[in-house]
Amino acid sequence: MRSLAGQVFLLQLGVVVLVVITALVALVVQARRHSMEDAQYQTLVAAQTFAHSPGIIAALNSPDPSAVLQPSAEAVRKASGVDAIIVYRRDGITLTHSDPGQIGKHVIGPYAEAATGKSFTRTFQGALGLSVISAVPVKDGSGSVVAIVSAVVTVGKVQDWVNQQLPVLFGVAIGSVVLAAGGSALVSRRLRRQTHGLGPAEMTRMYEHHDAVLHAVREGVLIVGGDGRMLLANDEARRLLELPEDAEHRSVSGLGLGDELAGLLTSDQPATDEVHLAGDRLLAVNKRFAGPEGPASRVVTLRDTTELQALAGRAETARERLQLLYDAGVRIGTTLDVTRTARELAEVTVPHFADVVTVELLDPVLHGEEPTGASTEMRRVAVVGMERDDLLYPAGTLIRFVASTPTAVGAANGRAVLVADLNASDGWQAQHPERARRILEHGVHSLIVVPLRARGVVLGTAHCWRKAASAPFDEEDVAFAEELAARAAVCIDNARRYTREHTTAVALQRSLLPSRVPDQSALKVAYRYLPARAGVGGDWFDVIPLSGARVALVVGDVVGHGVHAAATMGRLRTAVHNFSVLDIPPEELLGRVDELVAQIDVDESGDGEGLGITGATCLYAVYDPTSGRLAVATAGHPGPAVVRPDGSVDFPQLPVSPPLGLGASMPGESAELIVPEGSRLVLYTDGLIEDRGRDLDVGLAALRTALTGPDRSPEATCAAVVGALMPDRPRDDIALLVARTNRLHADRIAEWRVSRDPAAVGPVRAECVRRLHEWGLDQLGFAAELVLSELITNAINYGTDPVTVRLLRDRALICEVSDGSSTSPRLRRARVTDEGGRGLFLVAQFAERWGTRYTPRGKVIWAELSLHGGAGPSVDGLAEFLFDEVEPLSLESAERDGTAR
């Protein structure tokens, strides 16, 4: 409503409403007046009709005039629509009335005028209330008045007639208001479009602003009328055309503009960027018409092309530079390779900014290290734009720049150095005079050396050269070169940091992964580790020899890449190694690792700063060569593939367990398989079977195809699988472990059942010595006999049935004694007063290693003796060894303790 259109709309609407109200009041008054006139006419006609009706004289002269006239009067009343037809005698006695109770009564009223023979109509307060009454005399044949007939219409009935017309009047009034409002709205809408909803103050301000802009723009504006007179000229037009002060309202031809330009301004032809001479200026003229009909005014704009040409050149150069900076942002730093990033800088710059570009970097930057300070010794890593290879130092050359060269100066102060004319630069030529001469002969004439600085450290330099017809570099080019180099330096520094982190992660991962497969006879193993495109990750594998010639195969995967993933992998591998020493079942081992991962997450994520372990899976399998059994448990990891000797491939179904850290202390499950000798066990991480565009089922099918076929060695199997399934650019690490199973044949296994009788120790010991003789291990007879005696005696004294002794001839002699008890002996140093406690100490001294493992039916105490002998003391030194290990006591102390013998 603040707009001009809104105010006009309110004014029009108010006028229309006032007019409609006035008209409505006038119509109501007029309707009331017309209704009263109609009532007067109606009563007069009714009274005259009845007064002149035939037979009324006879009825009046009849003995009972009321009885004759009353029915007729009622009939006429109903037919004419009046409220009453009353007949009076001249003396005022009522003969007929609409109210029978009034018949015969004397009527008081203005009837004297009718009694004299004159008719009249007036408003009168009678028996029926305020009424319109008309009275007409009834004359006999002699002209004498014998009676008076009056017709009555009450004013209330007249008002009812008026009220019946009011809805129509109000409807017409409302329709008129709506129609007028709609018309006013349309007019206001059109006005609002024309004034853009502006109010008077805003239109005034807009005019002031437009007037200010018109005179402030750097473009001439003229308005020429249809008669050829100048109507308006802004300040710029006056300056360009050198118009006099009184130019407005004068004829254009009289302003001294020249015939050509004056003719263009007054002609009826439009113009678009036509160039005309005005004094010493070339003006670009545009002309349009202000009105479609009649002698329209002409609107002319003028631009000085002599000034715009220079501005356009600078604008085009700026546009090209902005485009080049945009291209640099897109094309530089597409990889995290330092050398590739430097070459991208050179490729972006040539040929849009320079004809030849070389990039040199400090050697520490190439190795991912932090530069220690400014240096003039740099290695050239990129050369782009030079056709001949013998002019500039080739890529890969380590260059020691002379202190006077622009390169050394720029690297020292960290600012770009401009050499507009190389012919005059003695410092540049001092680097290599002969090479400088050949470069100048080739047409190279201008140089900018710009340091590559990131975080205040100079990483290297970029040399931009121009040759042949290219213009020499200037100061504006220096500023642009510094901007371009600054962006490239950030990308190079990011690549350097990545190189450092990648090198650190690779070194860490290589130190954490197995450097070799440990010696064992149960499995022949080959492996592959293939890092992802993004760098090192958390995939790992391991081969762990266990007691009883058994071997554990481990494959795991930690989500993510980089140092954190590699470090997490190392922690998990160490944990699995430590838990494997306990010789616990696979599912129990993974359960302990799961608890460890959950604890690590709590410790590292509790303060909100640690990364924790975002996800890890593991598969742990134990192969027993004496029985061919394979016990497997997995924590969220893909199960193994078993390639049987006939070439068929099977993927055993394993119990499903959640990844590490998500087990919620729930007991795990494992599966046990019987694997034929010569089978190949294939363990892998999900990067081998999962890739972009390939789901798990497709990956397993491809792995089955790669494994199916004739028997191959583990090494050949690894090569075949990698060749068939390795993607060109893997997104995830791949760890592959292939193991061919061997069996420990029956002739290398000896087993005896022992009754729980101390006397049974001797025969079993003798049987063991005979078996060692058969195996050609007589040199181990004493040590084995001593170890078995101690282990069997412990089992008989402290264990439960059944007691079993087993000897395994593998890479070492393995002595095992099992019983049904779950209690484990503990190694300790016996005191001089103890009668026992030295047996396990002797076992530990004679065996390379020993330990206890638990089985579903009890425990096994085992000890490994080297086949080459040399473990433990000799027979002659046994007594000395035992006494050396006992703390000496004096005789007095022994007697005091009651232990002297």
- Averaged pLDDT for residues 296-300: 81
- Contact status, residue 691 vs residue 727, Cβ threshold 8 Å: yes
Q: Which residues, 6 or more positions from 494, have their beta carbon under 8 angstroms from its beta carbon?
A: 333, 336
Distance CA(456)–CA(375), nearest Å, equals: 14
How high is the pLDDT of residue 634? 94
SS3 515: coil
N-terminal to C-terminal alpha carbon distance within the chain: 126
- Contact status, residue 747 vs residue 796, Cβ threshold 8 Å: no
How high is the pLDDT of residue 294? 47
Mean pLDDT lowest among 183-187, 282-286, 638-642? 183-187
DSSP 532: B
Nearest to 538 by CA among 614, 636, 635: 614
- Token pair for residue 513? 């992964």
- Contact status, residue 793 vs residue 761, Cβ threshold 8 Å: yes
How high is the pLDDT of residue 59? 82
Between residues 824 and 897, which one has the greater pLDDT? 824
Q: Which residues, 6 or more positions from 406, have their beta carbon under 8 angstroms from its beta carbon?
A: 417, 419, 425, 427, 428, 447, 449
Burial zone of 161 (CB within 10 Å; 0-12 exposed, 13-18 middle, 19+ buried): middle
Q: How far is CA 8 from CA 181, 202, 203, 206, 219, in A?
A: 12, 15, 15, 19, 37
Quote the percentage of the chain above a pLDDT of 70.
84
Mean pLDDT lowest among 47-56, 193-202, 690-699? 193-202
How high is the pLDDT of residue 892? 38
Report the predicted TM-score, pTM, of the whole model to 2 decimal places.
0.57
DSSP 836: S
For residue 131, the one-letter residue type is: S
Between residues 659 and 890, which one has the greater pLDDT? 659
pLDDT for 293 beyond 60: no
Residue where the block lists tokens 């055993």: 652
Quote the percentage of the chain above a pLDDT of 90.
33
Q: What is the largest CA-CA distance in the chain?
A: 193
Distance CA(682)–CA(541), nearest Å, equals: 12
Q: What are phi and psi of 144, to 5 degrees?
A: -90, 145
- Highest mean predicted confidence (pLDDT) among 120-134, 532-546, 685-699, 747-761: 747-761
pLDDT for 897 beyond 50: no
Between residues 522 and 74, which one has the greater pLDDT? 522
Question: In the Cβ-directed half-sphere of 444, how many Cα atoms lie within 13 Å?
Answer: 27
Taking each continuous run of H as one helix and of E as one strand, the counts in the chain are 24, 31
- Highest mean predicted confidence (pLDDT) among 135-139, 191-195, 283-287, 414-418: 414-418
Mean pLDDT lowest among 135-139, 193-197, 643-647? 193-197
| pLDDT tens digits, one per residue of 471-498 | 999 998 999 999 999 999 999 999 998 8
Q: pLDDT class for 384, splitting at 50, 70, 90?
A: very high
- Highest mean predicted confidence (pLDDT) among 197-211, 342-356, 686-700: 342-356
Distance CA(712)–CA(740), nearest Å, equals: 10
pLDDT for 527 beyond 90: yes
Q: Which residues, 6 or more positions from 55, have their beta carbon under 8 angstroms from its beta carbon?
A: none
Q: In what order do the strands lie in the sheet with 457-467?
A: 398-400, 377-384, 356-361, 457-467, 444-454, 417-419
Q: pLDDT class for 307, splitting at 50, 70, 90?
A: low
- Contact status, residue 575 vs residue 593, Cβ threshold 8 Å: yes
Task: Give helix 761-774 / helix 781-798 axis angle, nearest 10°.
Answer: 150
Q: How far is CA 213 from CA 220, 290, 297, 400, 893, in A?
A: 12, 19, 21, 62, 119
Burial zone of 613 (CB within 10 Å; 0-12 exposed, 13-18 middle, 19+ buried): buried
Mean pLDDT of the chain: 82
